Chain A
Amino acid sequence: MSQTNKTQGPVKRSEVSKLRWTWEEMKNNKTAYFMVAPFLLLFIIFTVLPVFLSIILSLTDFNMLQFPNFVGIDNYMRLFMDDEIFILACQNTLIFASVTGPVSYILALLVAWFINELPPKIRAVVTLVFYAPSISGSAYLVWKTLFASDSYGWANAVLMKYGFINSPILWFSDAQYVMGLCIVVALWTSLGTAFLSFIAGLQTIDRSMYEAAAVDGIKNRWQELWYITLPTMRPQLMFGAVLAITNSFGFGGVVTALCGFPSVDYAAHTIMHHLSDYGGSRYEIGYSSAIAVILFVIMFASNIVIKKALSKVGE
């Protein structure tokens, strides 16, 4: 509240009148609070409260049945010291996220940029081709057919026909391939809201800026991209980055649908799976809350790093 005062109050006020001023402002804007209240209430109950509840429960041994005991940081100690699968899940999550996040982001940006100069009708069709997989629900299961473990699978059929292999590869049950395939499928479904945002952002850039830049000595389209296009659409880049990070940590459901749970040798076991396993199947709520808290920390940390990196675009 005090921060709002600093920006809105025309002159510096003493502490007492600042509070009074805030109170007066709040009374004057009753309608504003009424309008925001229904959404805010549900948002707090279903989004903010679960976060704080996770933090609190992560310090207990809650199991849905008995009254929770406070156990300090025991859950965290157990995670990092005794839980080898968790360490594996961390590695997998980082590999998965650090590939799908940046690649899907760059892919969305490049495709949006490629199609930007197409005529509007064709652009709409191409947009649909790239965007459709992200809204098609469980259509990604087709990859399971294409990479089926018998010779009816397209990948096996092609490889066998040309003599690369003699017997079918068990794609989704072979620890060697599982991770790579899941990344490919995740990328296939990843051109979503951020992609649309980039397309729209590129459309709003004024063409005269490019003309002026050509006069100022911008030589090719790559320079144009770096010095004009990207800095101009920095807000969209920020929004897209947030969504890319969020999604890159949220592909757990896709992985489970493709390779089952647990995946073979835990080769595609991510932190999200570990969380569902302990929270959903074993009812070790305290322990799973600790996992959730660690995931929060990772997500926020990546957001901060990306924010810093994006502020350097076009310099």
Chain B
Amino acid sequence: MAQKLRTRGHKVVLNRSKGGDLGITIMLTLLGLFMFIPMYYVVIQAFKPLDELFMFPPRFYVVNPTIDNFVDLFTLMGDSWVPFSRYIFNTVFITICGTLGNLIFASMAAYSLAKLRFPGRKLIFQVIVMSLMFHSTVNQVTHFIILSSFGWIDTYLSIIIPSLASTMGLYLMKQFMESSVPNTVLESARLDGASEFRTYLTIAMPMVKPAWLTLMVECFKNLWNEGASVYIHSEELKTFNYAIGQILSGGIARSGAGAASTVLMMMVPILVFVFNQSQIVETMGSSGMKD
């Protein structure tokens, strides 16, 4: 066996040709540039002074970097009809309530579906998996009808309550619990007289910390980018994302502020991901669908 294997560093490397390595590196670089250049351009635009924003031909670098765009953005924020802090509050409020609520509801359900055997659990999980198969915008019309029949249109509830039952987090958490919480540990807790709820809270939950982070990031990402334009009409209940959209649509004079706001908006989910990347990837290890 030994003579067939090349080594690279201390690892055994199998079946790897130099040509293949080169081809893959080139492909990966090209694809990487395709992904990276627009992102880079988003960032660079935010630091261009106005005359460089409108320059022919457009440049992929800045000569005189400036933070004027960010200053402009805050000035524009100060001028808005509803105080800008209100938009930020709305987004933060919706995001926190929705994310925490989803964590509580989904993790309880995930524990129950993953670790307790009761009639109907397979059926429930199958329906939840089926819901992953269609995009939620298909439901937009009937969803609206249901929200309005509760009288929740134009309230925070129209965004928060449906997000508590978003299924992606539950799915990932259930799969992760199945693969990383051993039944024997739960069994011994039960023998010690812990109630089922206590077992969930004190034994299972601390063991699936990566899954909570993943669920929170997933939920956070969706709520942070929530435009809330369909279900909410009152200006003072609208979100940060919506207000940014308004600035962006303000035409050429606001191009700089618009570019700055896009950068601010996208930095948050990216940073959240960067700090939790290893836990998220760990959770995804058990994300597979059986059968």
Residues of A within 8 A of B (CB): 1, 3-5, 7-8, 22, 25-26, 28-29, 31-33, 35-36, 38-40, 42-43, 45-51, 53-54, 57, 64, 107, 110-111, 114-115, 124, 126-133, 135-143, 145-146, 151-154, 157-158, 161, 188, 191, 193, 196-197, 199-201, 203-204, 207, 210-211, 213-215, 218-221, 223-224, 233-239, 242-243, 245-247, 249-250, 252-253, 272, 275-276, 279-280, 285, 288-289, 292, 295-296, 299-300, 303
Contacts and interface: CB of A to CB of B under 8 A. Distances in A.
Interface in B8-37: 12, 14-17, 20, 24, 27-28, 31-32, 34-36
A237 B215 CA distance: 21
A39 B105 contact: yes
A232 to B, nearest CB: 10
Contacts of A234: 288
B90 interface: no
Contacts of A249: 134-135, 138
Nearest to A191: B35
A276 B224 CA distance: 23
A210 B86 CA distance: 57
A240 to B, nearest CB: 9
B282 interface: yes
A191 B34 CA distance: 12
Interface stretch (B61-69, B74-82, B160-168, B181-189): B160-168
B235 interface: no
Contacts of B230: 280
Interface in B103-124: 105-106, 108-109, 111-113, 116-124
A53 B270 CA distance: 37
Given A36-B124, A246-B135, A139 B288 contact: no
A4 to B, nearest CB: 5
A247 B20 CA distance: 32
B202 interface: no
A211 B146 contact: no
A146 B118 contact: no
A133 B41 contact: no
Contact of B277 (A26, A114, A128, A129): A128
B1 A242 contact: no
Contacts of A296: 134, 138
B244 to A, nearest CB: 7
Contacts of B195: 31
Interface in B241-273: 241, 244-245, 248, 262, 265-266, 269-270, 273
In the A-B complex, the 8 residue pairs with the smallest Cβ-Cβ separation, listed nearest first, are A235-B288, A250-B135, A279-B141, A42-B165, A29-B118, A200-B284, A157-B57, A39-B109
Contacts of B27: 110, 114
Contacts of A157: 56-58
5 contacts: A4-B122, A42-B164, A49-B142, A115-B28, A201-B284
Given A39-B105, A48-B131, A235-B287, 5 more contacts: A36-B112, A139-B38, A152-B55, A292-B138, A296-B134
Nearest to A311: B291
Interface of B: 1, 4-5, 12, 14-17, 20, 24, 27-28, 31-32, 34-36, 38-39, 41-42, 45, 54-58, 105-106, 108-109, 111-113, 116-124, 127-129, 131-146, 161-162, 164-165, 167-168, 170, 195-197, 200, 218, 221, 224-225, 230, 241, 244-245, 248, 262, 265-266, 269-270, 273-274, 277-278, 280-285, 287-290
Contacts of B241: 137-138
Contacts of B278: 124
A218 B36 CA distance: 35
Contacts of A247: 135
Contacts of A204: 285
A143 to B, nearest CB: 6
A255 B227 CA distance: 16
B128 A43 contact: yes
B119 A214 contact: no
B116 A50 contact: no
Contacts of B277: 124, 127-128
B38 A46 contact: no
Given A25-B118, A43-B131, A203-B281, A137 B287 contact: no
A219 B14 CA distance: 9
Nearest to A213: B14
Contact of B56 (A4, A36, A50, A151): A151
Contacts of B140: 275-276, 279-280
Given A130-B35, A145-B41, A238-B289, A29 B116 contact: yes
B139 A47 contact: yes
A250 to B, nearest CB: 3
B284 A299 contact: no
A35 B146 contact: no
A248 to B, nearest CB: 9
Contacts of A136: 39, 42, 265-266, 269-270
Contact of B14 (A39, A49, A214): A214
A32 B132 contact: no
B116 A32 contact: yes
Contacts of A188: 34-35, 38
Contact of B142 (A33, A53, A143): A53
B116 A137 contact: no
A218 to B, nearest CB: 6
